C-alpha cells in the first residue's frame, strides 16, 4: 500500500533513508521512539527508486565493499518493509475501529427501530382507546339527545295545553262581548222585554262566574307548578346536603366550634373584666368627689385655722395621686376595649376560616366521590385490558426456570450448560443450551435465570391469578425432571416466608383482592379440593378417612370418577370439597395435604414427588350493586418429575411409581403433539392426568406451564428433552378463554376447568 503521507507525520528526505547526512543547519534528528521506523514515511517515488537502485562500487572484484553496500541496501529495504508493516497494522486497526463503530451504529439503529416499533404499538393502543372512548361518548351523546328530545316533547305538550287554555279564554271573552252587545240592544227595548232582560242578565252572571272560575283554576295550576318546582329544588338541595358527610368534616367542625367557644369565653371574660373596671372607676370617682368635698371643707377651715395648712397640702397630694390612679384606670379601660375589639376580629376571622374549611371539605367530599367512581371505572377497564392482553399473548404460555447450583450437586463434569442471550429483542425470553458440543436455542414467553427470587417469579403470573377472580378458568402446572425445582416453584420452603411458592402467594393475592373489592359491592365464595394421581389412581388428600384411599390388596376403598359436562366443567365424584374464607384455612389444608402426599427417596432426589399434585379453587363472585355474577377456577398443579431408570436406580415400588409417572408424562406429550399437529383425535383418555386436564389443554382455559431445568451437566439430556417438549407446548393453539357468568345454584359444587 503506497500512497501520500498521512496528516501529522513528518516526511524526511529520501537521502536520509539512503544513508546520507545532508541535513540542514536548523534540522534536528527525528525521534524513533515507539517504532523501528520512527517518523519516516515513503512515497511511491521513494520506493520505486529504492527498488530500482543499482549497486555501485569502484572495484567490482571488491566483494567486501559490495557486501557492505548490499547490507546497507538490505537494511534500507528492511526499514521500508517495517514501515509498510506498521502502516498496514494502522490501517487494520482503523478498519477494526470502523467495523466496531459500524456494528455499534447498526445496533443503535436496530434499537431505534425497536423503540419506534414499540412507540408505534403504543400509539396504536392509544388510538384504539381513543376510538373506544369516542364510541362511548357518541353513545352518551345519543342518550343525551334522546333525553333532550323527550324533554322538548313534554315542553311542546305543555305549550299546547297552555295555548288551548288561552284559546278557550279568548273564546269566552268573545262570547262575553257578544252578550254585552246583546245586553246593550236589549236595554233599548227594556220596556217591552223585561223578562228577556232578566234571563240575559242571569246568563251573563253565570258566564262571569264560569270565567272567574277558569281564571282561578289557571292561577292555581301555575301555583301548583311553581310549588312543585320549588319542592323539587328543595329535595335536590336536601339530597346534596344530606349525602354522607365525611368523618373528617365532623372532626373539623367540632374543633372549629370548640375554638369558637373558647373565643366566646375569652370575650365574656374580657367583658366581665371591663365591667369590673368600670365599677372601680365609678367607685374611684365617688371617692374623688368625696375627697374634693373634704378638701373644700378643709380649705374653709384652713382660713380659720392656719395651723392646719400642712394637713390640707397632704390632702391635695392625696387627691393628685387619686387623679393619677383614675388616669391609669382610664388607660386600662382603653386597653381592655382594644382587647375586646381584637377578640371580636379574631372570632370573625375564625368564623370565616370555619366557613372556608367547610367549603373545602365539601369540595373534597365531591372529589372523593369522583375518585371512587373513577376507581370503579378504572377497575372495569383494567379487567378488560388485562384479559385482552392475556388472550393476545396466547392461551398456552410457557415460562422456563433454571434452578441455582446446589451444594450437594455433582461437581464432576464442570461446564456451563445454559447461557442467556442479551439481544434486546429476546432479552429474558431466550435460553441457549450446549449439549455434546452442539448449541440449542429456545424462545419462550419468559425465562428466569437461577438468581431470580420467588417474588419476581410470582409477579409475572399475578395477572393470570387475577383472571380467576374475573371469572376465567386458569391452570398453572410445573413440568420437569426429578430434582429440577418444581415443588419449590409451586410450594416453596416451609417456614421461610421469603421463599414461599406460587400456591401460597396466589392465595394471599386472591384474599387481599377480595377484601379490597368489598367496598365495590363484590362478595365471594371459595371452595378448595386437593388430590394426587398416584400409579394412575386418584387419591383424595383432604379425606378425613385416609385409610379408605390407600391400597388394600391392590384395590382402593373409593373409586373416584372423572366426568366432563357440556360446558367444559370437570367434576371428580366423591371428592372432598371444603369451603374456605381465609388464606390461613387454605394453608392449614395445604399442610395437611403435604403430609398425605406420596413422596420417596431416589438417587436423584432426597424428597422426590411420586405423584401428580392437583390443587383446585373455585371462586364464585356476586356484585350486590350490579347483580353481576362470575365463576372462576384456579388449578395449580405440581407434576411428578420425569426420570430415567438408569439414573434413579428405582426398584420394587419405586420402579412401579417411575413407570407410572413416565407413562402419564408420555401421554401428556402425545396430547401436546396431537394438539400441535391439529389432529382430529386427541388421546386425552390415555391417562388420568391428561383426562383430568382436558379442559385446560383443549378447552377455553388460560393455561401456563413452568418448565423447570437442572443446571447439572449430567442432567443435560433430560433438560434438552424438557425444553423440546416445552417448545411444542408453546406452539399449541387451543380455544379462546371464555368468562363464566353463570348463576350459581344451591347445588353448585367445585369443578375443574
Q: What are phi and psi of 190, to 5 degrees?
A: -70, -25
Q: Is 15's pLDDT higher than 50?
A: no
- Burial of 116 by CB count in 10 Å (0-12 exposed, 13-18 middle, 19+ buried)? exposed
Of 16 and 300, the structure prediction assigns the larger pLDDT to: 300
- 122-151 pLDDT tens trace: 888 888 887 887 777 778 878 877 887 887
Distance CA 632, CA 618 (A): 6
Of 568 and 526, the structure prediction assigns the larger pLDDT to: 526
Q: Is 40's pLDDT higher than 70?
A: no
The C-alpha cell at 626 is: 350490579
Of 140 and 387, the structure prediction assigns the larger pLDDT to: 140
Please check if 625 is assigned to a binding site. no
Least confident of 217-226, 585-594, 640-649: 640-649
How sure is the predictor about 386, in pLDDT bands with cuts at 50, 70 and 90? low
Q: Could you give the domains of the chain? A: 434-544+560-598+608-743 (3.40.850.10)
**pLDDT for 411:** 54
**pLDDT for 557:** 57
Q: What is the dihedral of CA 139, 145, 149, 152, to 10 degrees?
A: 150
How sure is the predictor about 745, in pLDDT bands with cuts at 50, 70 and 90? very low
Please check if 323 is assigned to a binding site. no
Counting residues of the chain whose pLDDT is more than 90, the rounded percentage is 11
**pLDDT for 334:** 78
> Minimal CA–CA distance to 165: which of 215, 114, 236, 220?
215
**pLDDT for 60:** 65
CB 654 within 8 A of CB 661: no
Q: Is 618's pLDDT higher than 80?
A: yes
Q: What is the dihedral of CA 724, 729, 733, 737, to 10 degrees?
A: -160
| 338-357 burial: b if 16+ Cβ within 10 Å, else e | eebeebeeebeeeeeebeee
Please check if 659 is assigned to a binding site. no
Full-model pTM? 0.49
Please check if 483 is assigned to a binding site. yes
How sure is the predictor about 12, in pLDDT bands with cuts at 50, 70 and 90? very low
How is 134-179 classified by DSSP, letter by letter? Answer: HHHHHHHHHHHHHHHHHHHHHHHHHHHHHHHHHHHHHHHHHHHHHH
Of 252 and 225, the structure prediction assigns the larger pLDDT to: 225
Mean per-residue pLDDT for 229-249?
63
The pairing of strands 629-638 and 612-623 is: antiparallel
What is the SS3 assignment for 71-99?
HHHHHHHHHHHHHHHHHHHHHHHHHHHHH
Distance CA 201, CA 192 (A): 16
Please check if 485 is assigned to a binding site. yes
Please check if 482 is assigned to a binding site. yes
Amino acid at each position: 500500500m503506497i500512497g501520500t503521507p498521512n496528516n501529522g507525520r513528518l516526511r524526511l528526505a529520501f537521502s536520509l533513508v539512503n544513508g546520507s547526512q545532508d541535513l540542514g543547519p536548523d534540522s534536528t534528528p527525528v525521534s524513533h521512539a515507539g517504532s523501528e521506523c520512527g517518523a519516516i514515511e515513503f512515497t511511491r517515488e521513494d520506493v520505486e527508486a529504492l527498488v530500482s537502485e543499482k549497486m555501485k562500487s569502484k572495484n567490482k572484484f571488491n566483494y567486501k565493499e559490495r557486501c557492505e553496500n548490499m547490507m546497507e541496501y538490505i537494511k534500507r529495504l528492511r526499514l521500508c518493509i517495517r514501515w509498510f508493516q506498521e502502516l498496514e497494522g494502522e490501517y487494520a486497526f482503523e478498519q477494526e475501529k470502523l467495523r466496531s463503530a459500524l456494528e455499534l451504529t447498526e445496533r443503535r439503529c436496530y434499537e431505534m427501530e425497536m423503540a419506534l416499533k414499540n412507540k408505534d404499538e403504543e400509539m396504536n393502543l392509544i388510538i384504539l382507546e381513543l376510538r373506544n372512548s369516542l364510541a362511548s361518548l357518541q353513545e352518551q351523546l345519543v342518550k343525551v339527545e334522546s333525553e333532550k328530545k323527550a324533554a322538548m316533547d313534554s315542553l311542546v305538550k305543555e305549550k299546547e295545553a297552555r295555548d288551548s287554555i288561552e284559546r278557550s279564554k279568548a273564546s269566552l271573552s268573545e262570547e262575553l262581548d257578544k252578550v254585552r252587545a246583546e245586553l246593550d240592544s236589549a236595554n233599548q227595548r227594556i220596556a217591552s222585554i223585561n223578562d228577556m232582560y232578566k234571563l240575559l242578565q242571569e246568563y251573563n252572571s253565570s258566564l262571569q262566574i264560569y270565567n272567574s272560575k277558569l281564571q282561578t283554576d289557571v292561577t292555581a295550576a301555575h301555583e301548583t307548578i311553581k310549588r312543585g318546582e320549588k319542592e323539587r329544588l328543595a329535595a335536590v338541595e336536601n339530597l346534596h346536603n344530606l349525602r354522607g358527610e365525611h368523618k373528617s368534616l365532623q372532626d373539623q367542625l367540632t374543633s372549629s366550634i370548640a375554638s369558637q367557644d373558647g373565643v366566646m369565653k375569652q370575650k365574656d371574660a374580657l367583658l366581665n373584666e371591663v365591667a369590673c373596671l368600670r365599677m372601680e372607676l365609678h367607685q374611684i370617682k365617688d371617692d374623688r368627689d368625696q375627697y374634693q368635698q373634704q378638701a373644700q371643707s378643709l380649705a374653709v377651715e384652713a382660713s380659720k385655722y392656719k395651723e392646719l395648712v400642712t394637713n390640707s397640702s397632704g390632702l391635695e397630694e392625696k387627691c393628685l395621686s387619686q387623679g393619677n390612679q383614675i388616669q391609669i384606670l382610664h388607660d386600662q379601660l382603653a386597653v381592655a376595649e382594644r382587647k375586646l375589639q381584637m377578640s371580636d376580629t379574631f372570632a370573625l376571622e375564625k368564623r370565616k376560616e370555619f366557613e372556608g374549611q367547610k367549603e373545602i371539605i365539601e369540595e373534597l367530599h365531591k372529589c372523593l366521590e369522583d375518585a371512587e367512581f373513577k376507581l370503579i371505572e378504572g377497575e372495569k377497564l383494567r379487567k378488560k385490558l388485562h384479559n385482552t392482553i392475556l388472550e393476545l399473548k396466547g392461551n398456552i404460555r410457557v415460562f422456563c426456570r433454571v434452578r441455582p447450583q446446589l451444594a450437594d450437586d455433582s461437581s464432576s463434569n464442570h461446564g456451563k450448560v445454559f447461557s442467556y442471550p442479551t439481544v434486546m429483542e429476546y432479552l429474558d425470553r431466550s435460553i441457549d443450551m450446549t449439549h455434546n458440543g452442539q448449541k440449542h436455542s429456545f424462545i419462550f414467553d419468559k425465562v428466569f435465570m437461577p438468581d431470580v427470587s420467588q417474588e419476581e417469579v410470582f409477579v409475572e403470573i399475578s395477572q393470570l391469578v387475577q383472571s380467576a377472580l374475573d371469572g376465567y378458568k386458569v391452570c398453572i402446572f410445573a413440568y420437569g425432571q426429578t430434582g429440577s425445582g418444581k415443588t419449590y416453584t409451586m410450594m416453596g420452603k416451609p417456614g421461610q416466608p421469603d421463599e414461599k411458592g406460587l400456591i401460597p402467594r396466589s392465595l394471599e393475592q386472591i384474599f387481599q383482592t377480595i377484601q379490597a373489592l368489598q367496598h365495590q359491592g363484590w362478595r365471594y365464595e371459595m371452595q378448595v379440593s386437593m388430590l394426587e394421581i398416584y400409579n394412575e389412581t386418584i387419591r383424595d388428600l383432604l379425606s378425613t378417612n385416609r385409610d379408605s384411599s390407600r391400597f388394600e390388596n391392590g384395590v382402593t376403598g373409593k373409586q373416584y370418577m372423572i366426568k366432563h359436562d357440556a360446558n367444559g366443567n370437570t367434576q371428580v365424584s366423591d371428592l372432598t370439597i371444603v369451603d374456605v374464607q381465609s388464606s390461613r384455612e387454605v394453608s392449614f389444608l395445604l399442610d395437611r395435604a403435604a403430609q398425605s402426599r406420596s413422596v420417596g427417596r431416589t438417587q436423584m432426589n432426597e424428597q422426590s414427588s411420586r405423584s401428580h399434585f392437583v390443587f383446585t379453587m373455585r371462586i364464585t363472585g356476586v356484585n350486590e350493586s350490579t347483580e353481576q355474577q362470575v365463576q372462576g377456577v384456579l388449578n395449580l398443579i405440581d407434576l411428578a418429575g420425569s426420570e430415567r431408570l438408569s439414573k434413579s436406580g428405582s426398584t420394587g415400588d419405586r420402579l412401579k411409581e417411575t413407570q407410572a409417572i413416565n407413562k402419564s408424562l408420555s401421554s401428556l406429550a402425545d396430547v401436546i403433539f396431537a394438539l400441535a399437529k391439529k389432529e382430529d383425535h386427541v388421546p386425552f383418555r390415555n391417562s388420568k392426568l391428561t383426562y383430568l386436564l382436558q379442559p385446560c389443554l383443549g378447552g377455553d382455559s388460560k393455561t401456563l406451564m413452568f418448565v423447570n431445568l437442572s443446571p447439572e451437566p449430567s442432567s443435560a439430556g433430560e433438560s434438552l428433552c424438557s425444553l423440546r417438549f416445552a417448545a411444542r407446548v408453546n406452539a399449541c393453539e387451543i380455544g379462546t378463554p371464555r368468562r363464566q357468568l353463570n348463576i350459581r345454584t344451591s347445588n353448585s359444587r367445585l369443578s375443574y376447568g
